[in-house]
């Protein structure tokens, strides 16, 4: 019953494409590497540590380069074509599997440095042994404009190869040449951009600082200054509009009168505008045209117009300072909500473990626990490390890793995962992986890395935003200068219009609309046992039209079990199993193992076995208690001259299966050849006959059981909008047809070799826009790689499965597939809503400004704070989508 598709392949995901490349002299950025996987080919990508990377080795006229991002044939082609443009190139040998490039050249016409430049011009980084990567925690970097300032500051450091800013998690990942730059240089650059570094990849002492700061957003120093600013704005409004008699002149500055309200507004600007001016200064210093710079210009412009030209725009300046500070606090709060979803994953694993040492136990940090140590886990405690149970038994809640709703019983020899919860019993677990290399750590790392794989919409947004701000700033200048002539407005009003447009010139909500949705969707999925390895895969899964399933281990359990026992000629079911057990207990065939397991669970007594013999391709023979017995295919018994068209089923005192009851309507007579055996085979079962040389004792049917959730999964996918479901299997036609009919797939293809599965997927990809392939992550690797989205089943604890597919169902639960499709589909909808609503609001407000319909406070609250909060809140709705429970499934089926 095993499929002939047991090739083991491994494929890792595409490298992060949110990396900025830093080229000396040119400072040229490449936001995405153009990995054009033509014909849907995905090659292996080996992730190498810095110690495994070699610098260019110049051996006269041969040089070798480490190009780890060159991980597909298309990538290699681009590199090769780029290098061949140089004069003096003799041969170019790109090796995709190792990420190395070997070039033979004429040293008089070109050089290794020139070749390295051509590789980088093709969009790929040449690494050397001096490169290291560090991660810096920058919690205040919570918007695209913040990231822009840090990027500009990092550009000025010699030795930085690549950097990646992640506002959604508040982290900066920098790869640099340790001989030319250090962590101190990078931290200094980030701080010069105006942001504090609270933690690095090698410094754990500051890990709690970001949490403390996030927990006190509304009582932080900036918040207190904002509330003070708001108080003075309120007092100023009181004197401006209600206590007009007391609004007297207090001073004169540059020939301009300062009334009580004006002074109060200036104090409001001074208190609320400190952080704005500080950030604006860093923006200007780093040549970054972002919201901080634009707001600083707007506030200063209002003050200059008031003091130098007597336009009395103090109220507008104070309103800008106060409302924008509120907008920044709201943005920090909204981003914190998105970050919380990932932080909850990180907090799953305990910080300490109780380790057995000699005859006692000792509580130590998990980082000090070594592979081979035995940790003690009491009821109610979290399991601190991946390991194997060596003593005790308990039910373990694996929901944090696999999303399973029901605790799983664990006994000696069973595998457990870090972050799961010991429900009731005492367990001793032998550690099998270090703290940073356990299943939970890999999940968190992959979820963090998933942000780097941008969706197509995110790439569109970034391209659009580079044009948006300059266009709106130009429109602001044009409106200020032209509206007095075209619309007949006064100069003070024109200045206010211009300031309002400056407020709308930064597309913060627009830019952040997609990443917060991706983070929300990916982290929500991870908490429900589904690991999505990139926003691009989330987007692709939501656009899938066809879902293709492997059969063995996916739609079926992948384990053979006995489904029917038909006793014949006066024998009982126990008699049949006892004989079958004796015959099969020395067989290593999966069918024999299934029969022995069934007999063991039924408590059938063993028999004395002698002269065991395997009859190739037909069955087995042995003497049981001195009597020759046979077990095998119907053909074996035909050769023994049995009349299989006329046998008698046992009905008195024996248990007759449903199949037997249906067949025994002619004096309990069965026709095995024309009726019983074909009908069992039509149900996808393998038939084994048991008997002696003189008597047929019974029929046993063995099958790979269909997963209970398989039919419901296929039905639910169709309800959610999947237009076609296909089953691909290496099994025989009859079995495939039976499984397909029971599960309800639209189409099946049987007797496929692994390469034929790939061909079948390619044909589906050519016909449909999106094709998902669901398999076990190992045997089906080629097909998973070829599909638009590859989904691996039961990937928890399996390195290969985690690395193979684009999406991994951590638990062995096919019912998570409809949840995944619904989440991805809804995520695409949320991303579209966020992009177009934020763009529409910004554009609408901008167009209405010259006609006087948008006061400056509305531009701040609606265009900045309102939309940022709205898109984040909309994105967080994805966390409400959860897999169906068994109760909900039963209700729907009922």
H helix runs in 73-130, sequence order: 73-83, 112-121
Sheet holding 394-397, edge to edge: 408-410, 394-397, 421-422
- Residue in this structure with the two tokens 């984040």, named with its chain if needed: 872
| 252 in Cβ contact with 287 (< 8 Å) | no
Q: Distances from the Cα of 495 to the Cαs of 229, 500, 857, in angstroms? A: 23, 9, 15
Phi then psi for 835, rounded to 5 degrees? -65, -55
Q: Which uninterrupted H or E stretch holds 754? A: helix 754-767
Return d(Cα 27, Cα 156) in angstroms, integer: 9
Q: Which two tokens stand for residue 179?
A: 């001989």
User: Of 885, 868, 545, nearest to 723 (Cα)?
Assistant: 545
At a CB cut-off of 8 Å and minimum separation 6, what does 313 contact? 302, 303, 305, 306, 492, 495, 496, 499
d(CA 668, CA 662): 10
Q: Is residue 788 within 8 Å of 771, Cβ to Cβ?
A: yes
Spatial distance between the Cα atoms of 491 and 168, rounded to a whole number of angstroms: 41
Task: Identify the H or E element spanning 612.
Answer: strand 609-615
* 446 neighbors 802 (Cβ within 8 angstroms): yes
Please tell me whether residue 59 adopts helix, strand or coil conformation: coil
- The first and second tokens of residue 206, run together, are 């500051």
Annotated catalytic, 17?
no
CB atoms within 10 A of CB 87: 10
Residue 99 contacts residue 48 (beta carbons within 8 Å)? yes
- Count CB neighbours of 711 within 10 A: 16
Among residues 5, 262, 550, 813, the one annotated as catalytic is 550
DSSP, res 483: H
Q: Is 433 helix (H, G, I), strand (E, B) or coil?
A: coil
Rounded distance between C-alpha atoms, residue 266 and residue 258, angstroms: 10
Secondary element (H or E) of residue 294? helix 291-309
Q: Which residue has the tokens 């900036």?
A: 222
Q: Dig out the tokens for 845 from the structure.
A: 């407000």
DSSP 8-state symbol, 649: B
- 732: β partners: none
The Cα–Cα gap between 217 and 329 comes to: 7
**CB-based contact 429:388 (threshold 8 Å):** yes
Q: Which two tokens stand for residue 399?
A: 């929901």
Cβ distance 535 to 455 under 8 Å? yes
Instruction: Evaluate whether 56 touches 119 at the Cβ level (below 8 Å).
Output: no
Contact between residue 479 and residue 502 where contact means Cβ atoms under 8 Å apart: no
Q: Can you give the C-alpha Rg of the chain in angstroms?
A: 35
Q: Are strands 171-177 and 249-253 parallel, antiparallel or unpaired?
A: unpaired
Q: Which of 789, 792, 793, 749 is nearest to 771 (CA)?
A: 789
Q: Which of the residues are catalytic?
A: 550
């Amino acid at each position: 019953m095993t499929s002939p598709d047991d090739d083991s392949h491994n494929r890792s995901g595409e490298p992060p494409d949110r990396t900025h490349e830093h080229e000396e002299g040119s400072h040229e950025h490449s936001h995405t590497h153009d990995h054009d996987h033509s014909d849907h080919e995905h090659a292996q990508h080996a992730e190498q540590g810095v110690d495994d990377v070699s610098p260019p080795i110049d051996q006269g006229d041969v040089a070798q380069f480490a190009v780890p991002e060159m991980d597909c044939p298309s990538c290699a082609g681009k590199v090769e074509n780029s290098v061949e443009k140089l004069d003096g190139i003799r041969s170019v040998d790109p090796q995709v599997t190792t990420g190395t490039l070997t070039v033979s050249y004429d040293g008089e016409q070109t050089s290794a440095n020139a070749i390295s430049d051509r590789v980088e011009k093709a969009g790929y980084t040449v690494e050397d042994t001096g490169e290291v990567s560090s991660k810096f925690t920058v919690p205040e970097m919570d918007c695209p404009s913040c990231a822009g300032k840090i990027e500009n500051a990092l550009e000025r450091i010699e030795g930085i190869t690549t950097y990646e800013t992640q506002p959604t998690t508040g982290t900066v990942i920098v790869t640099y040449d340790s001989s030319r730059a250090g962590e101190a240089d990078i931290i200094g650059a980030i701080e010069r951009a105006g942001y504090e570094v609270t933690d690095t990849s090698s410094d754990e002492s500051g890990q709690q600082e970001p949490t403390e700061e996030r927990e006190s957003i509304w009582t932080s120093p900036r918040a207190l200054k904002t509330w003070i600013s708001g108080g003075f704005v309120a007092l100023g409004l009181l004197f401006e509009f209600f206590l007009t008699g007391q609004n007297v002149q207090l001073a004169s500055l540059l020939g301009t009168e300062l009334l009580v309200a004006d002074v109060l507004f200036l104090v409001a600007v001074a208190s609320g505008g400190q952080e704005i001016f500080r950030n604006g200064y860093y923006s200007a210093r780093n040549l970054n045209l972002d919201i901080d710079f634009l707001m600083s210009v707007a506030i200063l412009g209002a003050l200059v117009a008031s003091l130098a030209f007597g336009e009395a725009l103090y109220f507008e300046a104070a309103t800008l300072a106060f409302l924008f500070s509120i907008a920044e606090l709201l943005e920090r709060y909204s981003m914190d909500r998105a970050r919380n979803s990932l932080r909850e994953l990180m907090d799953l694993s305990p910080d300490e473990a109780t380790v057995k040492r000699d005859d006692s136990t000792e509580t130590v940090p998990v980082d000090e626990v070594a592979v081979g140590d035995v940790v003690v886990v009491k009821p109610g405690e979290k399991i601190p490390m991946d390991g194997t149970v060596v003593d005790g038994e308990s039910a373990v809640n694996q929901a944090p890793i696999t999303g399973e709703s029901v605790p799983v019983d664990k006994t000696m020899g069973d595998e457990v995962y870090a972050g799961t919860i010991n429900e009731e019993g005492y367990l001793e677990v032998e550690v099998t992986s270090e703290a940073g290399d356990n299943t939970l750590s890999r999940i968190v790392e992959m979820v963090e890395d998933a942000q780097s794989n941008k969706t197509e919409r995110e790439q569109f947004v970034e391209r659009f935003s580079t044009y948006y701000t300059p266009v709106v700033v130009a429109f602001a200048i044009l409106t200020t200068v032209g509206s007095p002539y075209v619309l007949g407005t006064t100069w003070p009003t024109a200045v206010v219009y211009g300031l309002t447009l400056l407020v709308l010139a930064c597309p913060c909500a627009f830019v952040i609309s997609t990443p917060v949705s991706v983070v929300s969707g990916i982290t929500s999925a991870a908490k429900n046992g589904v690991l999505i390895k990139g926003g691009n895969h989330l987007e692709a899964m939501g656009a899938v039209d066809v879902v293709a399933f492997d059969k063995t281990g996916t739609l079926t359990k992948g384990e053979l079990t006995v489904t029917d026992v038909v006793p014949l000629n006066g024998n009982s079911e126990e008699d049949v199993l006892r004989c079958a057990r004796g015959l099969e207990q020395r067989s290593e065939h999966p069918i024999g193992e299934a029969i022995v397991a069934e007999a063991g669970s039924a408590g059938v007594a063993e028999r004395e076995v002698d002269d065991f013999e395997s009859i190739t391709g037909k069955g087995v023979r042995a003497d049981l208690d001195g009597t020759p017995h046979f077990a095998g295919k119907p053909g074996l018994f035909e050769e023994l001259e049995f009349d299989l068209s006329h046998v008698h089923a046992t009905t008195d005192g024996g248990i007759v299966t449903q199949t037997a009851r249906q067949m025994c309507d002619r004096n309990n007579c069965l026709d095995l050849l024309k009726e019983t055996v074909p009908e069992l085979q039509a149900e996808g079962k393998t038939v084994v006959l048991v008997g002696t040389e003189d008597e047929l004792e019974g029929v046993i049917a063995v099958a790979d059981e269909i997963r209970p959730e398989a039919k419901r999964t296929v039905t639910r996918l169709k309800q959610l909008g999947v237009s076609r479901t296909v089953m691909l299997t290496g099994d025989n036609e009859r079995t495939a047809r039976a499984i397909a009919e029971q599960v309800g797939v639209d189409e099946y293809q049987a007797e496929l070799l692994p390469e034929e599965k790939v061909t079948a997927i390619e044909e589906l990809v050519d016909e449909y826009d999106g094709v998902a392939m669901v398999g076990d992550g190992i045997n089906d690797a080629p097909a998973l790689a070829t599909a638009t989205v590859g989904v691996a089943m039961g990937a928890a604890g399996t390195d290969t499965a985690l690395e193979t597919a684009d999406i991994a169902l951590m638990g062995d639960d096919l019912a998570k597939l409809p949840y995944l499709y619904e989440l991805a589909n809804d995520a695409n909808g949320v991303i579209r809503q966020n992009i177009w609503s934020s763009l529409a609001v910004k554009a609408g407000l901008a167009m209405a400004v010259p006609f006087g319909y948008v006061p400056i406070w509305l531009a701040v609250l609606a265009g900045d704070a309102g939309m940022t909060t709205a898109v984040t809140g909309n994105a967080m709705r994805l966390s409400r989508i959860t897999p169906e429970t068994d109760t909900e499934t039963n209700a729907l089926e009922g």
